[in-house]
Amino acid sequence: MSKLKLCIDVGGTKTAYGLLDDENHIVYRFQTPTPLEIMPDEFTEKIYTETDEVLKNFGCAREELSGVAVGMPSYVDYENGIVVTSGSIHNIKNYPARAVLEKKFPGIPVLIDGDTNMAALAEHYLGSGQGFPHMVYVALSTGLGTGFIIDGRLFRGSYGGAGESGHMIITPGEGLTDGCGNPGCFMSYACGSYIVKHAVNAIESGIPSSLKDMVSDLSDLTAKHIAEAYKQGDSLAEKLMKQLISYSALHIYNLFIAFNINCYVCGGGLTNMGDFFLERIQEEADRLNKQENQKIYIKKAALGGDNGLLGCGIALDLALKQ
């Protein structure tokens, strides 16, 4: 039997484990909650112990692994295997995660990268980005991030932080502040967690909305509720959705102007609100685009929730070939 790749996709709510074969078929998967307040060494120990459970359930020995790849919801220094910051797992900062995991998996190659980079690889090789030598994966979810493919290769930038485009500032000194510390970045207008914050702030200020009746406590409000209220004609939800669509399109348009990349593959929970969402973003991006004969293609990710695991598998393939 050929060796298997252990792929781990760490998300803001759940961590998915997958065993992938040589052709990147997921032959076994396992899922656990992601504890957001966990300490760094507890996090890597959690991966190690849960890997034992994965291997035991599948009937595979640790020695049968060809490599381990971890996709993190974080800014990762890929070359040095350091998780610089993580917007989701708050206590992880400048943590040498790869070196720690290499000690736990002796003799087995280990790599760590950002989750949007993993998703970009998957969609480029297997999904909606096929046929485009340059593409950007756009994660429209709890947060906002991107992964760049340029000339068929993942682009990480000088310090490994390429793709943190959600922190580009559009209203300097104004608006809400997210994890980057600067008010007025794209993240504070064009992601799931912040559209909810805007909704809660509006309702608490006295603006009437059916959103208030959808939940027993405003802390339970989600972007899904806002999408439903939007479809029902709620005026606050319509305003918030228009803002979300407008800033999402502006984000893509600015990337297009900066890099002249024409393909934007969008994944993440917000893309599941309905076809109208990406259709409206496409319409708004087309309205902004004044470049003649330069079409911007906004496409829905084809691989769904598997793109993180599949991207980890592809990343290992590429690393092991070097």
Over residues 151-158, the mean pLDDT reads: 96
* Residues 146 and 292 reside in one and the same domain: yes
* Residues 62 and 171 reside in one and the same domain: no
Taking 90 as the threshold, does the pLDDT of residue 39 lie above it? yes
Assign residue 156 the CATH number of its domain.
3.30.420.40
* 189, 243 contact by CB (below 8 A): yes
Over residues 241-247, the mean pLDDT reads: 97
Residue-wise pLDDT tens digits, 169-184 = 999 988 888 777 888 8
Asked if residue 33 belongs to a domain, the reply is yes
pLDDT above 90 covers a percentage of the chain that reads 86
* Residues 249 and 152 reside in one and the same domain: yes
* Residues 115 and 225 reside in one and the same domain: no
Residue-wise pLDDT tens digits, 92-124 = 999 999 999 999 999 999 999 999 999 999 999
CB count within 10 Å of CB 149 equals 24
Phi, psi of 148 (to 5 degrees): -105, 130
Range of the domain at 74: 4-120+305-321
Over residues 252-258, the mean pLDDT reads: 98
* Residues 57 and 82 reside in one and the same domain: yes
| 3 state SS of 157 | coil
User: How many structural domains are present in the chain?
Assistant: 2
pLDDT of residue 36: 87
Angle between helices 40-58 and 97-104 (to 10 degrees): 40
Taking 80 as the threshold, does the pLDDT of residue 164 lie above it? yes
Asked if residue 125 belongs to a domain, the reply is no
Phi, psi of 78 (to 5 degrees): -60, -45
- Average pLDDT, rounded, for the chain: 94
pLDDT of residue 1: 57
Burial 29-54 (b: 16+ CB within 10 A, else e): bbeeebeeebebeebbebbeebbeeb
Residue-wise pLDDT tens digits, 44-97 = 999 999 999 999 999 999 999 999 999 999 899 999 999 998 878 889 999 999
* Residues 207 and 242 reside in one and the same domain: yes
Asked if residue 225 belongs to a domain, the reply is yes
Residue-wise pLDDT tens digits, 13-35 = 899 999 999 999 999 999 999 99
* Residues 83 and 198 reside in one and the same domain: no
Asked if residue 126 belongs to a domain, the reply is no
* Residues 297 and 309 reside in one and the same domain: no
pLDDT of residue 230: 95
